[in-house]
Amino acid sequence: MKIMVQGTSSSCGKSLTAAALCRIFFKDGYSVCPFKSQNMSLNSFVTIEGYEMGRAQALQAYAANIEPEVYMNPILLKPTTDHKSQVIFMGKPISNMGAKEYFTFKPKLKNRIYEIYKEIEKKYDVVVIEGAGSPAEINLKKDDFVNMGMAEMADSNVILVADIDRGGVFAQIYGTYMLLEEEERKRIKGVIINKFRGDKSLLEPGIRMLEELIPVKVIGVVPYFEFNLDDEDSASGFKNFIKNGINVAVIKLPKISNFTDFDCFKFEEDVSLKFISRPEEMADADLVILPGSKNTISDLRWLKEKGFDSAIRNFEGIVFGICGGYQMMGKEIFDKYGVEVKEGTYEEGIGIFDTKTLFLEEKRLERVEGTAFLNKIYGYEIHMGITIDNKNPFVFLKDRMDGDCREDRFYGTYVHGIFDSGEFRSYILNKIRRKKGLEERRSEDLTDIRNRELDRLEKIFRDNIDIDYIYKLL
């Protein structure tokens, strides 16, 4: 059995709808697997085997109570510049390609996608397939295996999701439907109107008129709600959470990646989280985070242009660098092989640590666990390069030491997700609370938070869509 979730646009709610269906089918006793043939995102996940995949499919796997596997998202495109993306197939980088080059290469992958999908179908009771962007992108339909092309390969019915919060929801739905070929229209068997605020009864006349215009049933209206985990990419925006107590500021690098590293802070009752683009925005921060980057040298140059380098050196609170942010905090970065920019490029770092980073052609992909200041930590590494001369490593992994620290206020590590550990997050936040005279608190592991959020997601969808009708579509 299978069902496909497509959308009228990016960020309309496809990923969360697919996650909700995975949770519902799992809770109803079925073995469920998510699948998205191609994903574009700077936010990736590392599997236990050390393969890279989209975070949205990892969340959907957790919703289905299974371990994320790379076959759930065979193709991942990670933008490196405005014109190129790193192409990752089955968890490993193939090449950096421009759009034209990739569209020439793409047809070679279609048969492999079909084979991977058919193997999944044999192993699970239900496959929840997610599309990408919109099926009405008529300029991209040739050799499509992401939207209606994937629906045809899987012979799947389709649910169309539309975002009413952006406005023009009926035009979105009608326009998408009318731009499809007749055979493609036949696959759309239901519409979900997502992110609705207000009185549903006021929407009813519009729904009736829409169903007269196109022969597709509106099977649910899902209310607007905050789900604070695993945003697929920056298309959905960087949301600030303002509360009284501790102020956490994340520097919004132009090529920021893996920004789910900070989701955990959103669940702290006394922690504000904001993304900043100017050094003066650091003024009221207690903790400034330098996040990961898909182009570290480019983003380091941007930091210097903005004046963040001197602001970071002079900051009196805590500065924490993760992955690319950690590399930037060192003395130098050397791109010997042209991994990010030109061969032989040398860039002076911010100079907090005495570290030197050499970019290598091989990407390190690994799930890790260990301790930091005797607190349990877990996460993953995903980076090109090695860093040496780290004089005060504070992260102890099973086979090595990682990171650097200085003056009990500057920290850097390669471990993405280090704050997901409730123990370590408590350690850092309580240092700040003591300094500010606030009551100390105990933080919760993000894994526990995630399960609670997924159960909440399941309930919202069960209460607001016609699940019996979806079972008929299966």
Q: Indicate which residues carry an active-site annotation.
A: 323, 416
Closest CA to 464 of 259, 243, 220: 220
Q: How far is it, in rounded angstroms, from Cα 69 to Cα 56?
A: 12
Q: How far is it, in rounded angstroms, from Cα 25 to Cα 19?
A: 10
Give me the numbers of helices (H) and strands (E) for the chain, helices first please: 14, 26
CA dist 397 to 48, 377, 402, Å?
A: 15, 9, 7
Q: What secondary structure does DSSP assign to 48-76, as a single string?
A: TTS-EEEHHHHHHHHHTTS---GGGS-EE
- Please say whether the beta carbons of 265 and 271 come within 8 A: yes
Q: How far is it, in rounded angstroms, from Cα 246 to Cα 429?
A: 8
Strand order through the sheet with 126-130: 32-35, 126-130, 2-7, 158-163, 188-196, 218-223
Kindly give, in sequence order, each residue whose CB lies less than 8 Å from that of residue 5, ignoring residues fewer than 6 positions away. 14, 17, 18, 21, 128, 129, 130, 131, 158, 159, 161
- Please say whether the beta carbons of 211 and 238 come within 8 A: no
Q: How far is it, in rounded angstroms, from Cα 474 to Cα 469?
A: 9
Closest CA to 166 of 333, 355, 9: 9
- Please say whether the beta carbons of 18 and 173 come within 8 A: no
The CB density around residue 439, as the number of other CB atoms within 10 Å, is 9
Q: How far is it, in rounded angstroms, from Cα 386 to Cα 405?
A: 17
Closest CA to 326 of 268, 394, 425: 394
